[in-house]
Amino acid sequence: MKKTKIKIFSAFSGIAGFEKGIIDAIGKRAVFVGYSDIDRYANMVYKKHFPKHINYGDITKIDPKELPDFDLFCAGFSCQPYSIAGKRRGLDDLRGQVVYDIFRILREKKPAMFLLENVKGLLSHNKGETIELICEELCDSGYVLDLDVLNSKNFGIAQSRERVFIVGVRLDLLNESQIY
State how many domains the chain has.
2
- The CB density around residue 55, as the number of other CB atoms within 10 Å, is 15
Q: Where among 59, 75, 91 does a domain terminate?
A: 75
User: 98: closest CA among 71, 134, 136?
Assistant: 134
96 and 162 both lie in a single domain: yes
Check 74, 79, 135, 139 and give the catalytic one: 79
Of 9-18, 42-51, 74-83, 117-126, least confident by mean pLDDT is: 74-83
User: Residue length, the chain?
Assistant: 180
Q: Where among 53, 75, 97 does a domain terminate?
A: 75
| C-alpha to C-alpha distances, 60 to 56, 145, 154, 155, 172, nearest whole angstrom | 10, 24, 34, 33, 28
74 is catalytic: no
26 and 84 both lie in a single domain: no
Q: Is 34 left (phi over 0), alpha (psi -120 to 50) or beta?
A: left
What pLDDT, in 10s, does the model give residues 158-170?
999 999 999 999 9
pTM beyond 0.75: the answer is yes
94 and 166 both lie in a single domain: yes
